């Protein structure tokens, strides 16, 4: 998250910190994903990503389906041939900038998944939603998209059997694991950001 690197403090600070991380990532060929935060920080985060992408290979970022602006952002980034992580979005935003209804978010998420996959750029579909998983499977089969071009991503401890099943079916699966001494605070903040996250977490932990 760019705020952890000084986004709200000083531009030079966040750029220095990001370059320090990416210098090491390039050396070891490790992909670094710039996470997306609330809508107010979206443009600044994308500006940083574009600048870093012009200098480094191993850098990616995240786009959130619940923001109205996201399809245009995806189109604007296409020339960079980016590795993009697509999510629905977890922050509480106003209806002025984000779709307030789940149905609209889901429809936009599907549109983004298909559009990004068809660009040929590497795509991470970060979801625990069976509907989105099946949608992705159908799209890649319809367009003969190789499994090497995309991956599914889920949180550690949620939908474990589904994760294993996807791997057995030949799909790539990445499991996201918060770590360090502040892991508990991270989870609590994620749940507090949006009340619907609590129900989502409970549902995910009790489903296979």
Contact (CB, 8 A) for 34 and 48:
yes
SS (H, E, C) the chain: CHHHHCCCCCHHHHHHHHHHHHHHHHHHCCCEEECCCCHHHHHHHHHHHHHHHCCCCCEEEEEECCECCHHHHHHHHHHHCCCEEEECCCCCCCCCCECCCHHHHHHHHHHHHHHHHHHCCCEEEECCCHHHHHHHHHHHHHCCCCHHHEEEEEECCCCHHHHHHHHHCCCCEEEECCCCCCHHHHHHHHHHHCCHHHHHHHHHHHCC
Active site residues: 35, 85
Q: How far apart are the first and last CA of the chain?
A: 30
């Amino acid at each position: 998250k760019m705020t952890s690197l000084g986004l709200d403090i000083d531009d030079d600070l966040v750029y220095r910190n990001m370059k320090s991380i990416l210098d090491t990532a390039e050396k070891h060929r490790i992909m670094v994903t710039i996470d997306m935060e609330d809508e107010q920080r979206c443009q600044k985060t994308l500006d940083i990503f574009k600048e870093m992408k012009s200098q480094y290979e191993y850098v990616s970022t995240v786009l959130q389906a619940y923001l109205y602006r996201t399809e245009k952002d995806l189109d604007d980034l296409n020339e960079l041939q980016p590795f993009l992580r697509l999510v629905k979005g977890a922050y509480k935003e106003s209806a002025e900038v984000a779709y307030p209804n789940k149905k609209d978010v889901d429809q936009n998420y599907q549109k983004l998944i298909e559009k990004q996959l068809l660009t040929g750029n590497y795509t991470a579909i970060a979801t625990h939603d069976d509907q989105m998983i099946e949608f992705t499977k159908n799209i890649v089969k319809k367009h003969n998209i190789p499994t090497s071009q995309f991956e599914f991503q889920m949180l550690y401890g949620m939908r474990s059997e589904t994760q294993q099943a996807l791997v057995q079916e030949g799909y790539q699966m990445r499991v996201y694991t918060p770590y360090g001494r502040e892991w508990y605070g991270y989870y609590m903040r994620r749940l507090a950001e949006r009340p619907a996250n609590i129900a989502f977490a409970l549902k995910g932990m009790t489903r296979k």
